[in-house]
A and B are shown apart, each in its own frame.
Chain A
Amino acid sequence: NAGVTQTPKFQVLKTGQSMTLQCAQDMNHEYMSWYRQDPGMGLRLIHYSVGAGITDQGEVPNGYNVSRSTTEDFPLRLLSAAPSQTSVYFCASSYSLFKRPAPSYNEQFFGPGTRLTVL
């Protein structure tokens, strides 16, 4: 298993440009999410999905769009990048505890991260 993969690892954008951060997992996890990491603030939830076709907003959703057309993929789109979106982005996946039978152990698997700089 490759686990959770993210591409690209590094990206530099100019203000106003758009791009998509890719995230994929091969563990058949229902739950996927995107976090951003900023110095001193830990990781903050941007968007999450509890299954294909279902997405919802997290703590800091503004400026980002997501979709979940398959169980495996959960791309994060920046429609018009701003310097405030300079950050490290992590994708994560896990089984849902609503799954039946419920998993006894719910570890979040994180991808390696994407470092994004917006100039």
Chain B
Amino acid sequence: AQKVTQAQTEISVVEKEDVTLDCVYETRDTTYYLFWYKQPPSGELVFLIRRNSFDEQNEISGRYSWNFQKSTSSFNFTITASQVVDSAVYFCALSERAGNMLTFGGGTRLMVKP
């Protein structure tokens, strides 16, 4: 069975600091998909990124970057120069079956203080 572990339950940083959110996953499949979602205080889930298991290229989108390493089964998320608006709960998720059903990690609550 698949499993996603986000060991950091809460992280607190001061604005402009860089922060990395860790995600470690377990799966027996060779084809799988990894996701990151953001849940701001308003409660909705905001899709950030999807990666498939055949694409180990790291990705950068503005202040966000993702590091996918199959060798360590990790898919870490870095926010550069954090801002107060980044304060949210961030979820890492894994999908094996055709990229549909998601297994979520427990989430990391990020608090960015001014």
Question: A residues near B, CB below 8 A?
Answer: 31, 33, 35, 40-45, 48, 50, 58-59, 88, 90, 92, 94, 96-98, 105-110, 112-113
Contacts and interface: CB of A to CB of B under 8 A. Distances in A.
A48 to B, nearest CB: 6
Contact of A42 (B44, B100, B105): B105
B100 A31 contact: yes
Contacts of B37: 110
A113 B104 contact: no
Contact of B100 (A35, A40, A90, A96): A96
B6 to A, nearest CB: 8
Interface in B81-105: 91, 93, 98-105
B36 to A, nearest CB: 12
A76 B99 CA distance: 22
B101 A110 contact: no
Given A106-B100, A107-B47, 11 more contacts: A35-B104, A42-B4, A42-B91, A42-B104, A42-B106, A42-B107, A45-B102, A94-B99, A97-B100, A106-B99, A108-B35
Contacts of B47: 107-110
Interface residues of B, number: 23
B43 A108 contact: no
Contact of B43 (A43, A58, A112): A112
Nearest to A93: B100
11 contacts: A33-B101, A40-B106, A40-B107, A45-B101, A45-B102, A94-B100, A107-B50, A108-B47, A108-B102, A110-B37, A113-B44
A113 B105 contact: no
Contact of A113 (B43, B50, B102): B43
Given A105-B50, A106-B33, A88 B99 contact: no
Nearest to A108: B102
B14 interface: no
A106 B52 CA distance: 10
